[in-house]
Amino acid sequence: MIRTAQASDAPALTQLINLAFEVERFFIDGDRISLAGVEDFQRKGEFLTLQEEGRLIGCLYLEKRGDRAYLGLLSVDPARQGQGLGRRLVEAAEERARAVGCTHMDLRVVNLREELPAFYNKLGYTATGTDVFPKEAPTKVPCHFVNMSKKLR
C-alpha cells in the first residue's frame, strides 16, 4: 500500500533512508539523513511510503516546485530491492505530481552511483546537466550530482 507519510512516520523514514543509503559509504561517511532532516523535508513536501503488513519497506520524497516536481531520497529496504518497488514508488510520485499540475519531474543522483542513471533512464528520465556536491558533506573521492528530468504531460 502506498500512502503519504504522517509526522509520526519520521523515525521510521529516517531509519529506512539511512539503511538504503548505506551503499554510499564507499564515498561518504555517516548517515544520509537525521530525524530533524526528515522533519524539515516533511514541512516542505511529502514522503510517499510503501508498506507491507504494516512495515515500511520503501519511500521517496516529493516536492512541488511551481509547475515542476522534485523527487528525492528514493529508498527501498535492501532486503527487498530488485522487486520493482522503487519503480512503483516513482510511478506513484509521477501520478501525484501530474494530479497537482506538474509538467516535469526532476531529480538528481550522485555520479558515483553508476547504477542509478540507468535505473531512471528505464523510467524515462534523461540527464539534463550537473551540479556540484555540497562542500559541507566532505567525500572520500571527488563527485558531483547528475540532474535528470522527465516530461510528465
What is the rounded distance in angstroms from the CA atom of residue 62 to the CA atom of residue 73? 9
Question: What is residue 136's predicted lDDT score, i.e. its pLDDT?
Answer: 86
Predicted local distance difference test score (pLDDT) of residue 120:
98
Start-to-end C-alpha separation, the chain: 25
What is the rounded distance in angstroms from the CA atom of residue 153 to the CA atom of residue 12? 33
CA gap 29, 69 in Å, rounded: 29
For the whole prediction, is pTM greater than 0.75?
yes
Mean pLDDT of 63-77: 98
pLDDT in tens, 101-112: 999 999 999 999
Report the pLDDT averaged over residues 25-35: 95
Q: What angle do CA 10, 65, 151 make, to 5 degrees?
A: 110
**Which whole-number Å values give the CA distances from 60 to 19, 21, 77, 132, in the listed order?**
14, 12, 12, 22
Architecture of the 2-107 domain: 3-Layer(aba) Sandwich (3.40)
Q: Domain coordinates of the chain in residue numbers?
A: 2-107
